[in-house]
Structure formats: C-alpha cells, structure tokens
C-alpha cells in the first residue's frame, strides 16, 4: 500500500483530502477491518488520548469513535457540553488550547461549522469534525468504504440522495466528486444542499458529476446507490409544510424498482421509519445500512491512525 501523509492535519471536510488520499484512506480502513477480524490490529494509538467533545447527543458517532480508539490501543475521553466550561462562556478556541496540552487529537460534534473551524485554528493537535450543521465528513468516509466493499470500484457509480439537503447530502456531494462518482440530489424546492458546497464539489468532480433535481423518479433512474436521511435534523423544528413537500422523496419499494437492478440502499441512521424510508426497504436484501453503521468505526480508526498514529 502506498503511504498516505496525513499526520498532524485536521479533518473538517471531506474536501480536506485529495482524491488519492481519500482512496488510500479507504484502503487503510479496509485493512483495519480485516485485521480486527483476524485479531491482529495495529496498536497505533498506544499511550495516546483522544478527546471526544459532544455538543449534540450521539449514538453511532460516540460509540464508533470510542471503539476505534480502544482497538488502536489509545484512550478515549468523552466530554459532553454540560461537563465543560463551554456552557459557562469559555470560548471554543480557549477550550482547544487547553485540551491540546492534554490529548493527542480532538473530535467535535457541534452545531455551527464555524465552531469546528475555530477549534482547529486554536488547537495544536489534529481536530476532526464529528458533525456540524454543514458537513458530516466521517459519515461519508464510512459510506464510501461500504459502497467500495459492495461494488469493488467507486469510479463511475451513480449515487442518488433523496430528501432534505442537509449536512450528509453536502458531504456526500464532495465525497462522490472526489471518488469519481456521479451524485444527484433529489430535493424539493428550497431544500437543496448548500450552494457553496455544491460549487466546491463541481470544481472537484466536474460540472456533470454533481446535479440537483426536483423529480425523484428522474433522479433514481439508473442509480447504483439510493441514499436518504431524516427530514428534520437534530435541533431543527418541524417546519410547517416541509414534511408534505418531502413525502414524494420517501425511499420506498416503488422508487427502488426504478433504480439500476443492482442498486443498493443506504441511510446514515437514526432512521424515522415510515417517513424518509420504509421498513421493507431498510430491512430488505438490498440494504447496506448495517454494514454502513459498522464501517463508521473502521473508517474513523483509519483516519485517527493516519492523523495521530505511530
């Protein structure tokens, strides 16, 4: 395997990686997964601590990061907002300066993307974006690893995202563009992914590689991957009329039948069954959702190993 030089860098966006770095990171994640199953894991974080700071509740992000650090021989230190001085007015920058004196990397799951940028500017150790309102880059590493496992090669595949153009939709656009995939977002008017992120994705992958349409049937035609997420992200109020506008974008058996015969289904979880996805689809034979959830741990282990490992 060729060497990936990421040591000491921050990971705030999928686009912080180059195309070759992304693919090599996915190879590292696949190797970590094989090693873990064979009981031969590299203890690349032995003697090192990783602070996991959560300003939002979490199941998969928290557990997958804690497990990844543990498997690499390090020690995860999980801190909720109520346990820090952030809630009493300390700046995120000051928190970053202090934590940098104690730990070897910091992950942050928060609201405004600017907060993780401020943390990275102040910290002297690598900072990882564990979710902001703009991007969810660690999720997309796991997603691309899962698609690569299933299809063998990412290049030329077509991924269709259905529903609300949220942080996952944003990061998917960047990740697909970097990986040489085609990305189509099918969203109702007013709920498309972030315009600046889409422009950045098109700059990475080409104008034809990233599209946004309103017609869900047009979007899924010929797609290899159908992907959806909740219609109301954590902390968002249920806007009047939004659920009705998103109803035609529900990932169900009828839309799946319009995709390519080998098409698979993905969802980053938690799922609101009966809203953005139906039971028969998420539990069906073409669902990769549970592999996708497991791969959070393997992708993040590879990322941590490359950023701070021995």
DSSP bridge pairs for 108: 53, 129
Give me the catalytic one of 296, 298, 300, 305.
296
Q: How far is Cα 203 from Cα 232, in angstroms, rounded to an integer?
A: 29
- Do residues 129 and 137 touch, judged by C-beta distance below 8 A? yes
Active-site annotation holder among 187, 229, 298, 305? 229
Angle between helices 137-151 and 19-38 (to 10 degrees): 70
Q: 215 an active-site residue?
A: no
Say whether 229 is catalytic.
Answer: yes
Task: Clarify whether 139 is annotated catalytic.
Answer: yes
Query: 3-class secondary structure for 105-123?
Result: EEEEECCCHHHHHHHHHHC
**Torsion of Cα atoms, 229 then 187 then 134 then 143, to 10°:** 40
Catalytic residue among 60, 113, 136, 200: 136
The answer to whether 138 is a known catalytic residue is no
What is the Cα–Cα distance from 64 to 213, expressed in whole angstroms? 34
* Catalytic position from the list 138, 176, 187, 268: 268
Question: Is the Cβ–Cβ distance between 299 and 138 less than 8 Å?
Answer: yes
d(CA 135, CA 255): 26
What gap in Å lies between CA 100 and CA 103, rounded to an integer?
6
Q: Which of 62, 71, 109, 298 is catalytic?
A: 109
Q: Which residues are identified as catalytic?
A: 109, 136, 139, 229, 268, 296
């Amino acid at each position: 395997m060729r060497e990936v030089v990421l040591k000491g860098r921050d990971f705030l966006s999928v686009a912080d990686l180059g195309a070759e770095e992304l693919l090599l990171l996915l190879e590292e994640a696949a190797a970590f997964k094989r090693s873990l199953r064979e009981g031969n894991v590299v203890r690349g974080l032995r003697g090192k601590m990783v602070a996991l700071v959560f300003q939002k509740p979490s199941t998969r992000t928290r557990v997958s990061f804690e497990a990844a650090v543990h498997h690499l021989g390090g020690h995860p230190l999980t801190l909720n907002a109520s346990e820090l001085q952030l809630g009493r007015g300390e700046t995120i920058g000051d928190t970053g300066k202090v934590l940098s004196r104690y730990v070897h990397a910091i992950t942050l799951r928060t609201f405004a993307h600017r907060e993780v940028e401020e943390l990275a500017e102040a910290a002297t150790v690598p900072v990882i974006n564990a979710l902001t309102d703009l991007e969810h880059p660690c999720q997309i590493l796991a997603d691309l690893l899962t698609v690569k496992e299933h299809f063998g090669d990412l290049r030329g595949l077509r991924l269709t995202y259905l529903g609300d153009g949220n942080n996952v939709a944003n990061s998917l656009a960047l990740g697909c563009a970097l990986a040489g995939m085609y990305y189509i977002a099918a969203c109702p008017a007013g709920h498309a992914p972030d315009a600046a992120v889409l422009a950045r994705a098109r700059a990475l992958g080409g104008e034809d590689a990233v599209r946004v349409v309103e017609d869900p049937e047009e979007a899924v035609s010929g797609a290899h991957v159908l992907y959806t997420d909740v219609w109301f992200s954590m902390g968002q109020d249920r806007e009047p009329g939004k659920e009705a506008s998103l109803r035609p974008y529900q990932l169900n058996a009828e839309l799946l039948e319009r995709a390519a015969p080998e098409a698979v289904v993905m969802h980053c979880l938690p799922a609101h069954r009966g809203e953005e996805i139906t039971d028969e689809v998420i539990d069906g034979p073409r669902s990769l959702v549970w592999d996708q959830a497991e791969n959070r741990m393997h992708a993040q282990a590879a990322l941590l190993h490359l950023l701070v490992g021995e």
